[in-house]
């Protein structure tokens, strides 16, 4: 392409904060390696009219007990006609706009970080023969819609994910690498300084409560119950405005609760706490990097079940239901055996950068 600086495009293809955070982490590493990057972020996706429909559909399915489990394990896992129809609908608006963007802004590399992103880029990849296409799968066990034609490399984060990809594409090139974590989690504040900034007592038992950017589950009721038993609670609603209002109402009557909406203070909140109570997802590896144990809420059906089992397999994690009384009981048990927090992050940014660099070099980028 004749440019002195290689160019990369990150395509989350989803408004999920987990996908967006992985894109940020990959972009930061690419830029450290000398690349120029652009990410089609949540604002761009919303601008194509995609985010609202997808979010509404996902929440509706989760609201019906067992429905998303049935869809995931019966349709998505095997790639049924229903799943392929859902895939076609998901990429309907994304493909034309992505083609328009790539025609005007050609790149050496595209990294897709969702099934929809992978599908859309795969549809267009033959149009740009000099472009490499990498799919970074954030699920512990990829379903059929993660796997497409015109993919040069799959990056996965669990040993089980490699055969899951090759089930659908036996000749696919797959590499297992650590999950992507945003750079700021490799340099969190000390627990003491974080607690001073948040007004949490040095000797208090403190938990961070969050269930992804969507704020799934009865987090307001859980925060109330945790505070009632004497725990300091840092509760994060994400983009869920209704949940944020509920948490702030709890905080008004429970002085041990601090409520947050979507916040960029997550490294500080994690550093301050003794335990992270969350749903399986990107937050888990962020917490592991800061060095905090996990109490996992069994909230998300479908791929959430796979991710839950993977996190338990990694260790330093327990699981509970979403019932407030059971969360309290499990949290107290976890805190009774919690270890002093590590002084340094448990993972190295340099190690992640080296692993990512080697993956890209394996396909000639």
Residue 2 lies in a domain: no
| One domain for residues 200 and 83 | no
Residue 86 lies in a domain: yes
CA atoms of 10 and 151, how far apart (whole Å)? 14
Q: Are 231 and 201 in contact (CB under 8 A)?
A: no
pLDDT for res 213 = 78
pLDDT for res 142 = 93
Residue 341 lies in a domain: no
Whole-structure pTM value: 0.90
Q: Are 28 and 348 in contact (CB under 8 A)?
A: no
| One domain for residues 140 and 224 | no
CATH number at residue 353: 3.40.50.2000
Task: Count the domains in the chain.
Answer: 2
Residue 342 lies in a domain: no
| One domain for residues 204 and 301 | yes
pLDDT for res 185 = 96
DSSP-H helix ranges across the chain: 17-32, 42-47, 51-63, 67-70, 81-90, 94-104, 115-125, 161-168, 191-198, 219-228, 241-253, 266-272, 282-290, 303-314, 324-336, 349-361
102-120 pLDDT, tens digit per residue, is 999 999 999 999 998 899 9
| One domain for residues 141 and 217 | no
213-250 pLDDT, tens digit per residue, is 788 889 999 999 999 999 999 999 988 999 999 999 99
Residue 160 lies in a domain: yes
* Domain hosting residue 303, numbered range: 183-336
Would you place residue 197 in the very low, low, confident or very high pLDDT band (cuts 50, 70, 90)?
A: very high
| One domain for residues 171 and 193 | no
Residue 1 lies in a domain: no
Q: Are 160 and 238 in contact (CB under 8 A)?
A: no
27-55 pLDDT, tens digit per residue, is 999 999 999 999 987 556 554 444 555 66
Output the six-digit token pair for 9: 């495009």
56-65 pLDDT, tens digit per residue, is 677 777 777 8
pLDDT for res 49 = 47
CA atoms of 332 and 316, how far apart (whole Å)? 15
Residue 48 lies in a domain: yes
């Amino acid at each position: 392409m004749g440019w002195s600086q290689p160019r990369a495009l990150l395509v989350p293809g989803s408004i999920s904060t987990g996908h967006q955070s992985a894109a940020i982490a990959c972009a930061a590493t690419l830029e450290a390696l000398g690349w120029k990057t652009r990410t089609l972020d949540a604002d761009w996706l919303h601008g194509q009219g995609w985010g609202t429909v997808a979010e509404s559909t996902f929440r509706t399915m989760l609201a019906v007990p067992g429905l998303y489990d049935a869809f995931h394990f019966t349709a998505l896992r095997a790639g049924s006609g229903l799943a392929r129809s859902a895939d076609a609908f998901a990429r309907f608006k994304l493909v034309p706009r992505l083609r328009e963007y790539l025609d005007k802004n050609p790149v050496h590399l595209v990294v897709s970080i969702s099934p929809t992103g992978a599908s859309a880029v795969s549809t267009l990849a033959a149009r740009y023969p000099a472009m490499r296409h990498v799919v970074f799968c954030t699920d512990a066990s990829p379903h059929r819609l993660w796997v497409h034609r015109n993919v040069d490399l799959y990056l996965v984060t669990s040993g089980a994910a490699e055969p899951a990809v090759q089930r659908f594409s036996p000749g696919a090139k797959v590499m297992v690498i650590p999950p992507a974590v945003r750079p700021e989690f490799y340099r969190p504040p000390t627990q003491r300084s974080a607690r001073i900034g948040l007004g949490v007592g040095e000797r208090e038992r403190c938990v961070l409560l969050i269930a992804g950017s969507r704020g799934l589950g009865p987090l307001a009721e859980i925060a109330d119950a945790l505070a009632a038993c004497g725990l300091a609670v840092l509760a994060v609603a994400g983009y869920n405005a209704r949940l944020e209002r509920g948490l702030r109402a709890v905080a008004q009557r429970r002085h041990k609760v601090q409520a947050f909406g979507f916040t960029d203070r997550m490294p500080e909140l994690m550093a301050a706490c003794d335990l992270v109570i969350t749903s399986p997802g990107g937050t888990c590896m962020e917490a592991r990097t800061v060095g905090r144990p996990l109490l996992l809420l069994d909230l998300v059906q479908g791929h959430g079940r796979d991710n839950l089992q993977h996190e338990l397999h990694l260790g330093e994690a327990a699981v509970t239901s979403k019932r407030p009384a059971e969360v309290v009981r499990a949290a107290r048990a976890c805190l009774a055996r919690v270890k002093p927090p590590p002084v340094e992050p448990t993972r190295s940014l340099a190690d992640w950068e080296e692993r990512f660099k080697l993956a890209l070099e394996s396909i000639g980028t």
